[in-house]
Structure formats: C-alpha cells, structure tokens
C-alpha cells in the first residue's frame, strides 16, 4: 500500500522562535493513499485465522495415526479470498451492504446541474 507523510502544526509557533525548534511544534502524520475494500478486509481477517488452524490430511504416521499439515501461505490466501468473495456476493444478494453518501458534500459539475433542471 502506498503512503504519504505530512506534518501537523501543534499550536502556534512563536514568531521569535520561527526557524528554530520546529521539531517541537510539528507532528508527523502518515496518510494511506490506498485502502482495503470490504472483501479484502474480510480476507485479511480470515487469513489470520486460517493460517493458524487450517490443515489438510497428509497421510499417516508410523503408528497409523492421521497426519495433518498446515496450509501453505498461498493456499491460505486463496482460501481466504474465495470465502471473502462468496461472503460479499451473499451480502449483495441479500442487500445487506449499505451505501452511504460522501461525508463532505461535493460540488456539482455542469452535467449534474443540467440533469436536475
């Protein structure tokens, strides 16, 4: 994921100290430029659990007991993504996904204004 680092000014910077000691008045802030969608978020949560508990039959040991092996990382990723995709598909079919408006009102462009008239 790509990230951007910016700085937040903490309080007012005294004029007489301008140019010295800026470090005391700035706080670094890291902004994500990309975010995980719903399916990706679900897949990440599933992968955390599947990587620890998912196993496949791997023959028998010398005493005849069943052997299990943990899934390989690519198998965990594939399984988590497949489950997440099925979940999101099911959510869409059941109309469980809510579509919310933008938190900040957008300015309407010319085409949108024409459609309203």
DSSP per-residue letters across 65-90: PEEEEEPPHHHHHHHHHHHHHHHHHH
What does the pLDDT look like over 38-77, one tens digit per residue?
A: 999 999 999 998 888 888 889 998 898 999 999 999 999 9
| Mean pLDDT across 78-90 | 95
| Mean pLDDT across 25-33 | 79
pLDDT at residue 7, rounded to an integer:
74
What share of the chain in percent tops pLDDT 90?
A: 35
Helices 73-93, 38-53: axis angle to 10 degrees equals: 140
Tokens found for residue 104: 């900040």
What share of the chain in percent tops pLDDT 70?
A: 78
pTM, entire model = 0.59
């Amino acid at each position: 994921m790509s990230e951007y680092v910016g700085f937040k000014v903490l309080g007012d910077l005294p004029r007489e100290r301008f140019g010295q000691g800026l470090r005391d008045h700035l706080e670094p802030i890291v902004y994500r430029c990309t975010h995980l969608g719903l399916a990706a978020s679900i897949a990440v949560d599933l992968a955390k659990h599947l990587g620890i508990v998912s196993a496949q039959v791997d023959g028998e040991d010398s005493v005849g007991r069943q052997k299990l092996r943990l899934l390989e990382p690519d198998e965990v990723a594939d399984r988590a993504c497949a489950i997440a995709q099925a979940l999101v598909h099911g959510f869409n079919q059941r109309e469980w996904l809510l579509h919310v408006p933008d938190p900040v009102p957008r300015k309407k462009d010319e085409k949108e204004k024409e459609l309203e008239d």
